[in-house]
Structure 1
Amino acid sequence: MQAHKDAVQLLKEAGLRVTPQREAILTFLLEYDGHATVDDIYSSLQSRFPSMSVSTVYNTVKQLSQVGLVKEIGVGDGASRFDMNVEPHHHLICVRCGALYDFYLEEPIRLSVPPEAQGFEIEDYHVEVRGVCPKCKEQKPS
């Protein structure tokens, strides 16, 4: 129930109209433990909102991202994931199961810009580390 109240408040503070679909999507993300895809959100809410389309979910999370309520993460597997943790952080990605884990670096870090990119103004950065998670490491490859 608290996540529902938080979602309504966050939408209002962001200047977005509170609709049942937006509220449900944001509540889902507040309660989700991890980095949800549009399909995760749609699958979870489809029975409550049978007329809601995947594009409604996509447009809503994009809008939530634009106002800074969620962070969109593109991890190279084609499906963006959405994270309620909007603080600066980075990700460990398991190449076997696709699990995504947050990690933090001491700030600020020094980035070396290649000579051909001198003068490039860096606005943001994201470190992505790929490997095999402990759970997958324990399993024998099939």
Structure 2
Amino acid sequence: MSNHKIAAIEVQAIKVKMKAQGLRITPQRFAVYANLLHREDHPTVEAILTDINRELPIASKASVYSALTVLREVGLVREVLLDEGITRYDARVTPHHHFICQCCGTIVDLDWDALGVLQINHLPPGLQVEGYETILKGRCDRC
């Protein structure tokens, strides 16, 4: 993302979106959110930090974590747990599923309606499902 020059109109749109959520726009929050909006790879904190500091060091690991926490709390990004013990982040917050290539690690977003409705018939009493997401694992077309 850092090599991607953001058009002035896009900068303004990102700021409007952040302000609409009541956020104070810091350079770190802006950089983290803009970075995620231009990515489809569901990056880790380390990948975001490396990318936004590539041209001009403006963030620390702590400031990236802080920005992600605030952005998640207001609903602009979400945590995605696709690999055991690895937290990734996604600016696509609408419901969707994921496909992970077991060979190369590519992660692909799948539209919500790409899969049929999950039939939840035999849950233990007292459990109420509030949402779900499916993770499909296999091999991508490049592998």
* Residues 1:96 and 1:19: Cα distance change in structure 2 (over 3 Å): same
Matched, 1:39 2:46: yes
Matching residue within 120, 124, 128 for 1:121: 128
Count of aligned pairs: 135
In the alignment, is the contact (CA less than 8 A) between 1:93 and 1:130 conserved in 2? yes
TM-score (norm 1): 0.82
TM-score (norm 2): 0.82
- Displacement after TM superposition at 1:4 (Å): 1.9
Matched with 1:9 is 16
Partners of 2:14 and 2:28 in 1: how far apart? 11
Matched with 2:119 is 111
Which shifted more, 74-83 or 106-115? 106-115
Partners of 2:16 and 2:116 in 1: how far apart? 32
Matching residue within 25, 28, 33 for 2:35: 28
Moved over 6 A (4+): none
- Contiguous gaps of at least 5 residues in structure 1: 137-142
SS at match of 1:90: strand
Partners of 2:10 and 2:41 in 1: how far apart? 15
Q: Which amino acid aligns with 2:131?
A: D
Matching residue within 75, 79, 82 for 1:75: 82
Identity %: 33
Matched, 1:18 2:21: no
* Residues 1:62 and 1:111: Cα distance change in structure 2 (over 3 Å): farther
In the alignment, is the contact (CA less than 8 A) between 1:22 and 1:60 conserved in 2? yes
- Contiguous gaps of at least 5 residues in structure 2: 1-6
* Residues 1:76 and 1:60: Cα distance change in structure 2 (over 3 Å): same
Matched with 2:3 is none
Partners of 2:64 and 2:121 in 1: how far apart? 37
Partners of 1:6 and 1:77 in 2: how far apart? 35
